[in-house]
Amino acid sequence: MKKVFKITFFATVAILVLSVYSFTLKPATTKYKCMMQMINYTGEGAYVVISLINPEGAYEKTLYVQGDDSEWYHDITEWWKFYGKKRSDLDAITGETIAGGARTISVIEIDDDKVNSGYKIRFETAVEDQEYYTKDAEFELTSESVKSKVEGTGFLRYVRMLPN
């Protein structure tokens, strides 16, 4: 009888614990198509890092990385100061480098509560043996800007965002 009571008790506790964890709320997110058009340049493909910047101007999250060879990540110096400390897994959010004149479409996911609350999206670009642009494109994350085209200042000709 005691054995049945113990098994029932532990089963009930396990079900309660699992129930609590299954009902924890994740923030609502939206996926955005992000098209990047590069300028015409010669040389290696560009590494592009898309980051979420908090209202204080600090990195909060890496949204996407174009360039999957981590050996070169340290060349994106400002982002590396953030990412290099945490070294979170980027496998699900990386793609190939982008050649001069090419375009690519990536899908990024942003928490809905970050829109219209002072956050920014930053695009950093670097090309081997060429320049590094910390803010090749940067804009405030608003309900209007996530449907807009933003001009780049370095290797990016422009970036266009669209809700997916």
> What tokens were used for 93?
């959010």
pTM for this model (two decimals): 0.81
| 125 and 48 Cβ atoms separated by less than 8 Å | yes
| 134 and 125 Cβ atoms separated by less than 8 Å | no
Task: Flag whether pLDDT at 100 surpasses 60.
Answer: yes
Q: What topology does CATH give the domain 27-163?
A: Immunoglobulin-like (2.60.40)
pLDDT digits (tens, 9 = 90+) for 78-98: 999 988 766 666 666 788 999
Query: Where in the chain are the domains?
Result: 27-163
